[in-house]
Amino acid sequence: MIVGVLGGGQLGRMLGLAGLPLGLKFRFLDPEPDSPCAQVGEQLVGSYTDPATLDRFAAGLDAATFEFENVPADTVRRIARSVPVFPSAQALETAQDRLSEKNLFQSLGIPTPSYYPLSHRDDLAAGLDRIGCPAVLKTRRFGYDGKGQWLIQRAEDANLILSQLPAEPDSLILEGFVRFDREVSLIAVRGRSGEARFYPLVENHHQGGILRLSLAPAPNVSVELQRAAQAYAARLLETLDYVGVLTLELFLRGDALLANEIAPRVHNSGHWTIEGAETSQFENHLRAVLGFPLGSTDCRGVSAMWNILGAPPNYEAILAVPRQHLHLYGKEPRSGRKIGHVTVCASDWEAVHQQLEPIRALAPQT
């Protein structure tokens, strides 16, 4: 069977690495030649909007999916004419727009920070009146790794913020700033049959808007909290008739969860599942997309995932650290760029942190 993947970055590469042992073959579409996917399948180099390229991509596929959410929904719709594509174009569109995400959360009774859509940047003053300060101004679409977000501490800073905005941002949304205790995420997966499974909540630590460290399962999470997060994710999966891995990012404040956003794909905060869970998020996404039974989401001990950003570290020194699993994506190093990650697994947190310490020192942010 051949699986088509729109996007050929590290997520596509890891989908390929999970699928090859299942006997699957892969075809990727990515405008960048020699993308990280190129070693695990055929890569078509071309545009997501060129009909001839899309038809060439879709020819002979058994199923298709995407590995980043800025693929145009119309691209998914065109491919879906001839090949089953999961998640659906509708789910993708919902996740592409912060306003439709928030509206969906609200309609399903999932708590979310207060928000106020701006149809124009000039509406900012009215939004600040409603939301109060501090608030976060975000582009509704195409934000990632903290890009497209501006913190507004005081209403009188609004003009300065407006002057910093890119010339023509997509439409904007103003959100209440959440003084959260922790950021967590839930990786959920739903099969074509409607069966859903959930990994345990993951605790995420960001630095400059970029995910740096994930701890899984998130320490000190009660059964009730895990159940609440799963119930929210289950509502989203059902409503969207979702197939594949869906990531729900949440703020945790005391015992309360606030939904921040969803990613309609495998997610950086789920990389630990490769070694730390019975079935990785990548394998489960493929199982779901192909209509196979889902695999167990049980943990194998506890895990920490550390992103390698920017310059390549001393790999030999990292390989000398016990219980670590190094993953490099074959990307050219560039400041702030995710070029790999290291997962440390053990039976207890003490052992994990003991091995994580040298890894953190060997792969600092650059």
Q: Which residues lie near a second copy (CB under 8 A)?
A: 13, 17, 20-23, 25-26, 39-41, 278, 287, 292-293, 295-296, 300, 315-316, 319-320, 322-323, 325-330, 340
Smaller CB separation from a second copy, 33 or 293 = 293
Whether the CB-CB separation of 257 and 232 falls below 8 Å is answered with: yes
Task: Return the ∠ at Cα 204 (arms to 266 and 322), rounded to 5°.
Answer: 85
- Minimum Å gap between C-beta 215 and a second copy is 19
- Minimum Å gap between C-beta 326 and a second copy is 6
DSSP letters, 298-357, are -BSSEEEEEEEESS---HHHHHTSTTEEEEE--PPP-TT-EEEEEEEEESSHHHHHHHHH
Q: Give me the amino acid identity at 140.
A: R
Smaller CB separation from a second copy, 148 or 200 = 200
Residue 9 DSSP SS3: coil
Smaller CB separation from a second copy, 257 or 290 = 290
- Minimum Å gap between C-beta 267 and a second copy is 18
Of 301, 310, 305, 302, whose CA–CA distance to 341 is shortest? 305
- Minimum Å gap between C-beta 286 and a second copy is 10
Smaller CB separation from a second copy, 177 or 315 = 315
Alpha-carbon span 74 to 62, nearest angstrom: 20
- Minimum Å gap between C-beta 213 and a second copy is 19
Alpha-carbon span 170 to 142, nearest angstrom: 8
Smaller CB separation from a second copy, 141 or 331 = 331
Residue 159 zone, left/alpha/beta (φ > 0; ψ -120 to 50; rest): alpha
What is the token pair recorded at 261?
A: 């956003």
Alpha-carbon span 152 to 322, nearest angstrom: 44
Smaller CB separation from a second copy, 227 or 300 = 300
- Minimum Å gap between C-beta 120 and a second copy is 46
